[in-house]
């Protein structure tokens, strides 16, 4: 079993328990359903940096990254650094996040928020909207074609933008792209944890031009961002490089200064 198989098997159990425990409570009490969604795609297209900074406490590949930083400090620091958007990892077991993290981020910042989660059930989309997300991630590696279409349709009906993540050409070619707004290429192979930005470069010309291109993971040098822009990327998802510092907001601010100079 790969780590992805483990995550998905656990996720199925977790969702079943949550549906019973507090689905209705969360949905009925959420005023965030009425909140207008802020477009992640537009934010990236209009930005001169395109950085999506991630809140990430730990990961299966690196174990602890930062378990001390306070979420409101991190996300307000990111916003002050003028990142384009923030990604909040909500998976608990493998990444140390929660849906409450997303709610707290929503009450702290005004820029677009991406719910970073292993989404396999429409329930998680309602949960994302109720907790104030603007966009959600769908990971091709864990979804069938049918699931992808269904989840993207439900997401759009909730006004959520959809970032579809692929890691190779096969995933890109087999994915139905209706209702997809952004296409993310994960530089990290979620099965082996190997990281290389070559895959972003290789797939760039295969991504239909109406989709906003996002390069994800393993990014830590401004030069790499400048290079990937040449390949048409507008978004750059960065977690660890910022989160491994005691002050992730300051790290993002320095990175953005270097990127602009």
DSSP assigned state of 34: G
Active-site residue flag, 25: no
Active-site residue identified among 54, 117, 171, 240? 54
Q: Is 217 a catalytic residue?
A: yes
Nearer to ligand IGP by Cβ, of 30 and 112: the residue is: 112
Q: What is the DSSP letter of 2?
A: -
Is the sign of the CA dihedral 103, 70, 261, 236 positive or negative? Answer: negative
Q: Is 145 an annotated catalytic residue?
A: no
Euclidean distance between CA atoms 96 and 232, whole angstroms:
33
216 catalytic? Reply is: yes
Active site residue 116: yes
Instruction: Give the per-residue contact string, 211-240, with ligand IGP (x = CB under 6 A; - = no).
Output: -----xxxx-----------------xxxx
If one asks whether residue 101 binds ligand IGP (CB under 6 A), the answer comes out as no
Residue 57 CB, shortest distance to ligand IGP, in Å, is: 11
Name the residue nearer to ligand IGP (CB basis): 120 or 238.
238
- State how far Cα 142 lies from the chain centre: 15
Catalytic, out of 116, 127, 187, 251: 116
Q: Among 51, 109, 99, which residue's Cα sits nearest to residue 235?
A: 51
Strands 63-64 and 58-59: antiparallel
CB 187 within 8 A of CB 152: no
197 lies in the binding site for ligand IGP (CB under 6 A)? no
Of 101, 127, 134, 165, which one interacts with ligand IGP (CB under 6 A)?
165
* 54 flagged as catalytic: yes
Q: Which of 179, 187, 217, 253 is catalytic?
A: 217
The distance of closest approach from Cβ of residue 191 to ligand IGP in the complex, given in angstroms and rounded to an integer, is 12
Would strands 135-139 and 161-166 be described as parallel, antiparallel, or unpaired? parallel
Closest CA to 245 of 111, 81, 114, 132: 81
Residues engaged in binding ligand IGP (CB under 6 A): 54, 56, 116, 139, 165, 186, 216-219, 237-241
């Amino acid at each position: 079993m790969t780590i992805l198989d483990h995550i998905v098997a656990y996720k199925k159990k977790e969702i079943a328990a949550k549906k019973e425990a507090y689905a209705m409570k969360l949905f009925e009490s959420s005023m965030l359903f009425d909140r207008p969604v802020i477009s992640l795609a537009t934010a990236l297209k209009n930005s001169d940096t395109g950085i999506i900074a991630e809140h990430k406490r730990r990961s299966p590949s690196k174990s602890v990254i930062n378990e001390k930083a306070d979420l409101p400090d991190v996300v307000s620091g990111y916003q002050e650094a003028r990142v384009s958007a923030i990604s909040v990892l909500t998976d608990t077991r493998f990444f140390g996040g929660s849906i409450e993290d997303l709610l707290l981020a929503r009450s702290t910042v005004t820029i677009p928020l991406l719910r970073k989660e292993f989404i396999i059930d429409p329930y998680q989309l309602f949960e994302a909207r109720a907790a104030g997300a603007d966009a959600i991630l769908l990971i091709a590696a864990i979804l069938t074609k049918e699931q992808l279409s269904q989840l993207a349709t439900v997401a759009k009906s909730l006004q959520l933008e959809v970032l579809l993540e692929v890691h190779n050409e096969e995933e890109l070619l087999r994915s139905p792209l209706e209702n997809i707004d952004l296409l993310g290429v994960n530089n990290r192979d979620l099965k082996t944890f190997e990281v290389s930005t070559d895959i972003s470069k290789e797939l760039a010309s295969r991504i239909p031009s109406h989709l906003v291109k996002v390069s994800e993971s393993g990014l830590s040098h401004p030069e790499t961002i400048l290079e990937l822009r040449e390949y048409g990327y507008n978004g750059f998802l960065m977690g660890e490089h910022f989160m491994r510092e005691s002050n992730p907001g300051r790290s993002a601010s320095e990175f953005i200064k270097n990127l602009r100079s």
